[in-house]
């Protein structure tokens, strides 16, 4: 892998007895037609024999394409993201691209630095799982961008998201079918499209299902984690409005909420049915196992990679917005009202 050990185009050219340009063309599918079939085959055989690997740096210097995509997530240690990343990487690999990953921890300044780094490395595109609803700098970025899981309010930015509206509708329908009428909510951060849309769907379908018209009994979490789930559940209990079911904006909030309820002597599902969102890994192994909305995280990652590839192929077309279907998974954390 050092200077001496590496075969270059020139070496292959010398071995076959042709010019480097011919070798380059024979090896590149797009320009293969410029070389006769026989010679092309001979060249490819020689390049395989010499174990030629194109120098990516030289290639990008000339073509201005690095075949590298920047992937930015809030925190890879959050269980929702690994499957997404996995999907993205599989999608990119299929096209000979690789991902450079970075975590923002939700810190805007940090995100700024990361975008800088990515610019310096001349990534060909960006996939953002971090995007907030309002993110003014996005459209000005000089590279193709796709957001995944979350979407920007700016519709010029292509996105791949899951059907939040339908997910919450199914959850509410399930709860109502089980006889629940007093349904509280722990909503997610409203600055994120996921938190916003899930909550909007909650208020909408609450009305449509005829289980309440006034202000919902809801608390807003400032982050999608267990600690916030506990805090919000405490707040709901402190309010004193009774509820038999609790809809949480994601699984981690639900996990925290169940723990807080238990501390206050309320058991799930016996006293309160609790639902999550995401069907994260281990959601089925918790006790009680979570009733939740299964979203296709890996598929979403894959689709976002595909969409980005497509955007990079042709000239800039109109933005595209993919919405993936979701399904509900009923487990032990919800049950028929007593």
Partner DNA sequence: GGTCAAATGGCAATCGATTGCCATTCCGCG
Partner DNA sequence: CGCGGAATGGCAATCGATTGCCATTTGACC
CA distance 134 to 222: 16
Residue 287 interface partner, choices its own copies, DNA, none, CB cut-off 5-8 Å depending on type? its own copies
Q: CB under 7 A: which stretch of 23-31, 93-101, 200-208, 309-317 binds DNA?
A: 23-31
Name 208's Cβ contacts closer than 8 Å, sequence gap at least 6: none
Residue 39 interface partner, choices its own copies, DNA, none, CB cut-off 5-8 Å depending on type? DNA
* Shortest spacing between CB 125 and DNA, in angstroms: 18
List own/partner pairs for 305-308 with CB under 8 A and 24 or more apart.
305/69, 305/87, 305/88, 305/89, 305/90, 305/91, 305/92, 305/95, 305/97, 305/127, 306/91, 307/146, 307/158, 307/160, 308/69, 308/125, 308/127, 308/144, 308/146
Asked whether 222 and 189 are in contact (CB, 8 A), the reply is: yes
Which of 1, 3, 313, 314 lies at the binding interface for DNA (CB under 7 A)? 3
Q: What 8-state DSSP symbol labels residue 97?
A: -
Nearer Cβ to DNA (124/230): 124
Nearer Cβ to its own copies (133/252): 252
Identify how many contiguous H helices and E strands the chain contains and give both numbers.
11, 12
Q: For strands 158-162 and 183-187, give the pairing.
A: unpaired
Using the rule CB under 7 A, is 117 a contact of DNA?
Answer: no
Residue 5 interface partner, choices DNA, its own copies, none, CB cut-off 5-8 Å depending on type? its own copies
Using the rule CB under 7 A, is 25 a contact of DNA?
Answer: yes
Nearer Cβ to DNA (22/275): 22
Residue 98 interface partner, choices DNA, its own copies, none, CB cut-off 5-8 Å depending on type? its own copies
Using the rule CB under 7 A, is 62 a contact of DNA?
Answer: yes
Q: CB under 7 A: which stretch of 51-59, 95-103, 167-175, 244-252 binds DNA?
A: 51-59
* Shortest spacing between CB 305 and DNA, in angstroms: 22
Residue 142 interface partner, choices DNA, its own copies, none, CB cut-off 5-8 Å depending on type? its own copies
Bridge partner residues of 293 (DSSP): 328
* Shortest spacing between CB 211 and its own copies, in angstroms: 30
Using the rule CB under 7 A, is 50 a contact of DNA?
Answer: no
Nearer Cβ to its own copies (122/211): 122
Helices (H), 106-225: 108-120, 164-177, 193-208
Bridge partner residues of 218 (DSSP): 185
Nearest to 78 by CA among 114, 103, 113: 103
Cis peptide before 288 (omega within 30 of 0): yes
Binding site for DNA (CB under 7 A): 3, 6, 8-10, 17-22, 24-25, 27-28, 30-31, 33-37, 39-40, 52, 54-55, 58-59, 61-63
């Amino acid at each position: 892998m050092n200077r001496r050990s590496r075969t270059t185009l020139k070496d292959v050219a010398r071995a076959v007895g042709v010019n480097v340009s011919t070798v380059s063309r024979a090896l590149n599918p797009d320009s293969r037609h410029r070389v006769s079939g026989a010679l092309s085959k001979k060249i490819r055989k020689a390049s395989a024999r010499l174990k030629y690997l194109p120098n990516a740096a030289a290639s990008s210097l000339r073509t201005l394409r690095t075949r590298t995509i920047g992937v930015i997530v809030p925190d890879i240690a959050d269980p929702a993201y690994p499957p997404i990343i996995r999907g993205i990487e599989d999608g990119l690999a299929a096209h000979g691209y690789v991902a450079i990953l970075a975590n923002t921890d939700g810190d805007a300044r940090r995100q700024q630095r990361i975008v800088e780094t990515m610019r310096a490395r001349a990534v060909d595109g960006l996939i953002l799982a971090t995007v907030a609803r309002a993110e003014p700098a996005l459209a000005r970025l000089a590279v193709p961008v796709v957001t995944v899981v979350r979407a920007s309010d700016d519709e010029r930015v292509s996105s791949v998201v899951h059907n939040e509206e339908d997910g919450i509708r199914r959850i509410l329908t399930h709860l109502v079918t089980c006889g629940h009428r007093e349904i509280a909510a722990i909503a997610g951060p409203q600055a994120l499209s996921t938190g916003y849309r899930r909550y909007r769907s909650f208020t909408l379908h609450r009305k449509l299902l005829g289980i309440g018209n006034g202000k919902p009994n809801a608390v807003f979490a400032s982050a999608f984690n267990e600690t916030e789930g506990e805090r919000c559940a405490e707040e709901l209990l402190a309010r004193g409005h009774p509820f038999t079911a609790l809809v949480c904006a994601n699984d981690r909030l639900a996990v925290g909420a169940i723990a807080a309820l238990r501390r206050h002597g309320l058991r799930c599902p016996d006293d309160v049915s609790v639902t999550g969102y995401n069907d994260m890994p281990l959601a089925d192994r918790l006790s009680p196992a979570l009733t939740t909305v299964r979203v296709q995280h890996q598929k979403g990652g894959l689709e976002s990679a595909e969409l980005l590839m497509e955007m990079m192929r042709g000239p800039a077309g109109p933005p595209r917005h993919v919405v993936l279907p979701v399904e509900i998974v009923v487990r032990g954390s919800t049950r028929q009202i007593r």
